């Protein structure tokens, strides 16, 4: 795939639509601007049953978390617990209560997470045209902080591609397009509406917990959406504010046509300002939707407000 004839992502995306400036030159949240009060109320209107789901994967699992190769699982460590009191090391306060306390070392993109819009780029410019130099030492522009400040609330819709294809999990490198999403939606009996928060299940992250990790990572190639000008235009026309998937990168690892790696990060996030949410745990939600037939719901998520973060962990909530 690193063959000489793989084009620069700039060439691949020549003429691809851009929303830079659409929400002002100081914008840092992009397509999340589509989520107006009206959209919040549209999300609220879907709630019928009072059921709730949370979409984060477990974090700091001693058995390892699913992380992009090269990153490490979060490591949590106690700095105070009952053991300290057993051996006389626990601090004593008036009233003699005891407590546990802990710290964590983590990759900010090492769990279910929102990408900052400035997380990925080309041609020295990130979302909205900010200079890529602003990423140095921490994102001064288009970090995850403004996304955390704003929050993401609207109507969510789940498209279960794995179920649509009759599989427990899509295969490594297996692709699908917006047309496939529409087919799956039709089969589910739902319509993807403008400004829906689009949640797509492949079964991929769930499979991490069902097999040997070494096997999961071997010849690592995720399934997912694949680039085409039509797909990008569809996202633009549909004004999709946020794409959520149960994969680490929201798209197939390498575009099988051009050989470019992760082109949708640039086409959708850098250029259109679509928020990307990765590594979501969608299996229980999908199971329930298949059972009750309700594939739309209120989606409410707010990543941690990490100053300068290229991303931040999040535990999204779905209310049906």
**Stretch 24-53 residues interacting with its own copies (CB under 8 A):** 36-41, 44, 47, 49-53
C-beta of 184 vs 319, nearer to its own copies: 319
C-beta of 144 vs 192, nearer to its own copies: 144
**Should residue 16 be labelled a site residue for its own copies when binding is judged by CB under 8 A?**
no
**Should residue 2 be labelled a site residue for its own copies when binding is judged by CB under 8 A?**
yes
Is the Cα torsion angle 120, 122, 124, 126 positive or negative in sign?
negative
* CB proximity list for 63: less than 8 A, separation 6 or greater: 213
- Paired tokens of 75: 């490591």
Cβ atoms of 125 and 21 closer than 8 Å: no
**Should residue 7 be labelled a site residue for its own copies when binding is judged by CB under 8 A?**
yes
**How far apart are alpha carbons 249 and 224 in whole angstroms?**
8
To the nearest whole angstrom, how small is the minimum distance from the Cβ of residue 257 to its own copies?
12
C-beta of 8 vs 211, nearer to its own copies: 8
* CB proximity list for 62: less than 8 A, separation 6 or greater: none
**Stretch 287-306 residues interacting with its own copies (CB under 8 A):** 298, 300-306
**Should residue 308 be labelled a site residue for its own copies when binding is judged by CB under 8 A?**
yes
* Binding mask of the shown chain, residues 114 to 153, with x at each position contacting its own copies by CB under 8 A: --x-xxxxx-x------xxxxxxxxxx----x--xxxx-x
**Should residue 111 be labelled a site residue for its own copies when binding is judged by CB under 8 A?**
yes
3-state secondary structure of 170: coil
Stretches 174-182, 193-201, 240-248, 259-267: which one binds its own copies (CB under 8 A)? 259-267
**Should residue 250 be labelled a site residue for its own copies when binding is judged by CB under 8 A?**
no
**Stretch 153-172 residues interacting with its own copies (CB under 8 A):** 153
- 120-126 contacts at long range (C-beta below 8 A, 24 or more positions apart): 120/262, 120/265, 120/266, 120/269, 120/270, 121/266, 121/270, 122/8, 122/9, 122/10, 122/266, 122/270, 123/10, 125/270, 126/270
**Should residue 9 be labelled a site residue for its own copies when binding is judged by CB under 8 A?**
yes
C-beta of 87 vs 189, nearer to its own copies: 87
């Amino acid at each position: 795939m690193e063959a000489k004839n793989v084009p620069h992502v700039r060439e691949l995306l020549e003429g691809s639509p851009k929303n830079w400036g659409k929400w002002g030159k100081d914008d840092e949240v992009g397509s999340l601007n589509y989520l107006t009060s009206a959209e919040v109320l549209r999300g609220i209107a879907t709630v019928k049953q009072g059921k709730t789901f949370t979409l984060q994967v477990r974090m700091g699992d001693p058995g390892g978390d699913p992380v992009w190769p090269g990153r490490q699982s979060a490591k949590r460590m106690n700095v105070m617990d009952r053991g300290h009191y057993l051996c006389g090391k626990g601090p004593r306060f008036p009233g003699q209560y005891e407590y546990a306390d802990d710290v964590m070392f983590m990759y900010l993109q090492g769990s279910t997470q929102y990408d900052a819009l400035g997380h990925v780029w080309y041609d020295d410019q990130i979302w909205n045209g900010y200079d890529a130099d602003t990423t140095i030492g921490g994102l001064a522009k288009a970090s995850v902080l403004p996304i955390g400040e704003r929050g993401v609330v609207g109507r969510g819709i789940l498209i279960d591609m794995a179920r649509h294809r009759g599989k427990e999990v899509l295969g490594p490198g297996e692709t699908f397009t917006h047309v496939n999403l529409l087919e799956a939606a039709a089969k589910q009996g739902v319509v993807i509406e403008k400004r829906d928060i689009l949640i797509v299940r492949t079964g991929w992250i769930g499979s991490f917990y069902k097999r040997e990790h070494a096997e999961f990572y071997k010849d690592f190639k995720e399934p997912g959406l694949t680039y085409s000008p039509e797909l990008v235009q569809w996202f633009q026309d549909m004004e999709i504010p946020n794409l959520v998937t149960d994969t680490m990168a929201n798209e197939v690892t390498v575009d099988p046509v051009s050989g470019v790696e992760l082109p949708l990060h640039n086409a959708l996030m850098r250029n259109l300002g679509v928020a990307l949410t990765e590594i979501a745990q969608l299996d229980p939600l999908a199971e329930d939707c298949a059972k009750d037939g309700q594939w739309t719901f209120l989606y409410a998520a707010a990543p941690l407000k990490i100053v300068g973060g290229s991303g931040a962990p999040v535990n999204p909530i779905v209310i049906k």
